[in-house]
């Protein structure tokens, strides 16, 4: 008991310090400090590629022979031509590489990596046609701020602004809405320019220009990077508008009854469900006329530059909680954090300087997405980083992100509540990382887009540094994951998730064959494909799961025998408690 309150105190102290230095960062100058995903032995050769998290889902390393950084289309074309001529496998990676699955790794660990870090020079706005054409390496933040200066807006986007246009489209990234065309960014694509392999007679490359008239655009809009290199993208935009946002906290008592209507009633609705606390935060967020007064900014706390020591001390307390198998410690941390976040409106500000209360009204580009930590400077003695920065022992997490058909979401919530009611403390871990974030996404014409209107469920939870270390209540997370994927036929986010998320995924897409047909035409030799993309795009189940000791702990497999869990640590492969078909690793010390 005493230990618990000491930990809690330490945590509270860290939090206060945190706010003081966050204040300091708002007035400091900025230049990029996030780590590069590509590290080479010699300049541009013999490189190791990692994601922003530093570790791939299977903890393997990805090697590539060479990396290039084109800054013009001519350089891009000649890089692709060269690689095709030499039959090299190719992959494209963005400046910061935010996808968790191993999507950016060339086949065989020996190919060419094309980075779009420097391919970000053009944002060409046409104010009479309400369109903009951008280079694929342009960062989301730069894009929305630039078009705003021309009085235009992208109606929907992911919530984190450090993504590249090419990368966010390729994995079907989205915000939250069931209005109009919905929240996926690819719904607003009206043109694309791709560089694809070609025969020697054509000079080894071909430029493909797609417009809305071309059916192939349905393949290219969400392509997992396997069709070729996206050079430029043209978006249909809207006149800029403002948004009026209020977070309303309420009991989750009737969440399952409210969730569908709430999405219909509010253009930019989302719900943050803190299940352990029986609480839901409803984002009441709607468009208002551009002349409505308000200078609001969304500066979401989780994306602000964060002091390294705060992240490390939070991680230490979590690890202590894991070692002591004491979930109450995590519940206390979650309570403290949620209270602190809500107090500052999650990072919303009514004017550039302060949060004074709801509603917060501001321009679309300043509300739709946020960031900042990717550009943090080092200010001695406190180092400011993104929470997931792998150079430090800060937060290190697993993530499950699955979209569930809107017609099933009610039943999913009821099932999660049943699990919660068996032991509410089992979900405190998730609440420490903003709960179950529920966002609306609409049925898409993209072959690899959503197959119907859906609610996307996104949750994060503790990952041990040692892949063989079992985790507190992991059976509960595994059961929810399998429930979402298999009982409710959920679709995994292509750019997130553990391997199990992709088990049988190809069979969930009725238009997969159309996508594969375009892929065969554009890249018959499969130079842009890899072991991972082959595995996820195959209808025969192979390659996604890895069967070995402890494989279920990090979602490399679904356990079918105890050795897939950690019997030596008291974790055995058992049935789900609500979803009986689930197979999960449960702590049963008495069975050792």
Ligand X SMILES: Cc1cc2nc3c(=O)[nH]c(=O)nc-3n(C[C@H](O)[C@H](O)[C@H](O)COP(=O)(O)OP(=O)(O)OC[C@H]3O[C@@H](n4cnc5c(N)ncnc54)[C@H](O)[C@@H]3O)c2cc1C
Task: Name the residues that contact ligand NAG, by CB under 6 A.
Answer: 126, 128-129, 244, 246, 284, 288-289, 291-292, 359, 392-393, 465-466, 468-469
Segment interacting with ligand X (CB under 6 A) among 90-98, 270-278, 322-330, 336-344: 90-98
Task: Output the six-digit token pair for 223.
Answer: 């392509």
Q: Any idea which residue has 């890249």 for tokens?
A: 523
Site map (CB under 6 A) of ligand X, residues 463-502, x = contact = ------------------------------x-xx------
CB of 147 to ligand NAG, least distance (A): 14
If binding is defined by CB under 6 A, does position 98 make contact with ligand X? yes
Whether 159 contacts 369, CB under 8 Å: yes
- Residue 129: which of ligand NAG, ligand X, none does it interact with, CB under 5 to 8 A by kind? ligand NAG
Q: For ligand X, which is the closer residue by CB, 359 or 495?
A: 495
- Asked, as a colleague might, if the bond just before 4 is cis with ω within 30 of 0, I would say no
**106-165 positions binding ligand X, by CB under 6 A:** 116, 136, 158-160, 163-164
Q: How many CB atoms lie within 10 A of CB 6?
A: 11
* Contacts (Cβ under 8 Å, ≥6 apart) of 580: none
CB of 388 to ligand X, least distance (A): 6
- Residue 1: which of ligand NAG, ligand X, none does it interact with, CB under 5 to 8 A by kind? none
**Alpha-carbon distance values, 12 to 23, 304, 312, 326, 330 (Å):** 17, 19, 14, 19, 13
If binding is defined by CB under 6 A, does position 272 make contact with ligand X? no
- DSSP classification of residue 311: H
CB of 187 to ligand X, least distance (A): 13
Q: By Cβ distance, which residue is nearest to ligand X?
A: 167
Q: Residue 453 and residue 226: Cα distance in Å, rounded?
A: 25
Whether 233 contacts 185, CB under 8 Å: no
Site map (CB under 6 A) of ligand X, residues 162-201, x = contact = -xx-xxx-xx-xx---------------------------
Q: Residue 292 and residue 290: Cα distance in Å, rounded?
A: 6
DSSP3 helix / strand / coil % (the chain, rounded to 5): 35, 25, 40
CB of 403 to ligand NAG, least distance (A): 26
**Torsion of Cα atoms, 522 then 524 then 525 then 528, to 10°:** 30
Q: By Cβ distance, which residue is nearest to ligand NAG?
A: 129
Q: Any idea which residue has 């790794």 for tokens?
A: 105
CB of 191 to ligand NAG, least distance (A): 11
Whether 504 contacts 536, CB under 8 Å: no
| Helix runs in 230-305, H state only | 255-265
Total residues at the site for ligand X (CB under 6 A)?
Answer: 32
Whether 194 contacts 228, CB under 8 Å: yes
Q: Residue 218 and residue 223: Cα distance in Å, rounded?
A: 9
CB of 228 to ligand X, least distance (A): 7
User: Which of 18, 47, 65, 92: binder of ligand X (CB under 6 A)?
Assistant: 92
Q: For ligand NAG, which is the closer residue by CB, 393 or 575?
A: 393
**491-550 positions binding ligand X, by CB under 6 A:** 493, 495-496
CB of 29 to ligand NAG, least distance (A): 26
**Alpha-carbon distance values, 332 to 4, 339, 471 (Å):** 9, 11, 18
CB of 152 to ligand NAG, least distance (A): 12
Which residues contact ligand X by CB under 6 A?
Answer: 52, 91-94, 96-99, 103-104, 116, 136, 158-160, 163-164, 166-168, 170-171, 173-174, 224-225, 229-230, 493, 495-496
């Amino acid at each position: 008991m005493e230990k618990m309150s000491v930990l809690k105190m330490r945590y509270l102290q860290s939090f206060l310090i945190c706010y003081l230095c966050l204040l300091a960062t708002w007035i400091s100058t900025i230049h990029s400090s996030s780590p590069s995903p590509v590290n080479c032995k010699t300049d541009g050769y013999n490189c190791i590629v990692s994601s922003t998290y530093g570790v791939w889902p299977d903890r393997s390393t990805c090697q590539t022979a060479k990396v290039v950084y084109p800054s013009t289309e001519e350089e891009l074309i000649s890089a692709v031509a060269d690689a095709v001529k030499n039959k090299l496998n190719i992959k494209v990676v963005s400046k910061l590489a935010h996808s968790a699955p191993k999507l950016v790794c060339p086949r065989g660990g020996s190919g060419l990596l094309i980075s779009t870090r420097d391919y970000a020079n053009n944002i060409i706005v046409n104010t009479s046609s309400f369109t903009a054409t951008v280079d694929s390496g342009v960062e989301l933040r730069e894009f929305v701020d630039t078009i705003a200066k021309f009085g235009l807006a992208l109606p929907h986007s992911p919530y984190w602004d450090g993504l590249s246009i090419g990368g966010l489209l390729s994995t079907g990234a989205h915000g939250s809405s069931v209005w109009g065309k919905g929240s996926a960014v690819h719904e607003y694509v009206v043109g694309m320019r791709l560089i694809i392999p070609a025969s020697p007679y054509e000079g080894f490359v071909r430029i493909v220009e797609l417009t809305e008239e071309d059916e192939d655009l349905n393949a290219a809009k969400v392509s997992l990077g396997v069709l070729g290199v996206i050079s430029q993208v043209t978006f249909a935009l809207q006149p800029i508008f403002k948004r009026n946002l209020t977070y309303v906290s309420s009991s989750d008592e009737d969440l399952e009854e409210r969730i569908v209507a709430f999405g219909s009633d509010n253009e930019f609705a989302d719900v943050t469900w803190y299940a352990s606390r029986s609480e839901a935060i409803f984002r009441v967020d709607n468009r208002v006329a551009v002349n409505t007064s308000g200078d609001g900014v969304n500066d979401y706390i989780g994306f602000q530059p964060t002091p390294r020591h705060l992240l490390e001390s939070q991680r230490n307390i979590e690890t202590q909680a894991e070692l002591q198998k004491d979930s109450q410690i995590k519940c206390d941390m979650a309570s403290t954090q949620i209270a602190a976040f809500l107090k500052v409106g999650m990072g919303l500000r009514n004017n550039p300087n302060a949060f004074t209360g709801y509603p917060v009204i501001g321009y679309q580009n300043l509300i739709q997405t946020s960031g900042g930590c990717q550009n943090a400077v080092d200010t001695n003695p406190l180092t400011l980083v993104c929470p997931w920065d792998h150079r430090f022992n800060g937060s290190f997490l697993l993530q499950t992100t699955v979209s569930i058909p809107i017609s099933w979401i009610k039943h999913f919530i009821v099932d999660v509540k049943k699990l919660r009611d068996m032991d509410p403390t089992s979900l405190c871990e998730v609440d420490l990382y903003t709960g179950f974030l529920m966002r609306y996404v609409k049925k898409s014409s993209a072959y690899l887009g959503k197959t119907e209107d859906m609610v996307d469920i996104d949750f994060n939870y503790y990952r041990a540094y040692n892949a063989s270390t079992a985790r507190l209540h992991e059976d509960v997370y595994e059961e929810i994951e399998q429930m979402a994927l298999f009982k409710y036929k959920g679709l995994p986010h292509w750019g997130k998730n553990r391997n199990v998320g992709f088990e049988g995924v190809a069979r969930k897409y009725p238009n997969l064959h159309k996508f594969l047909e375009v892929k065969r035409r554009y890249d018959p030799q499969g130079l842009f494909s890899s072991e991972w993309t082959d595995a996820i795009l195959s209808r025969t189940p192979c390659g996604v799961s890895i069967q070995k000791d402890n494989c279920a702990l990090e979602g490399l497999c679904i356990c079918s025998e105890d050795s897939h869990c950690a019997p030596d640590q008291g974790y055995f492969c058992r049935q789900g408690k609500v979803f009986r078909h689930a197979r999960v690793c449960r702590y049963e010390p008495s069975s050792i």
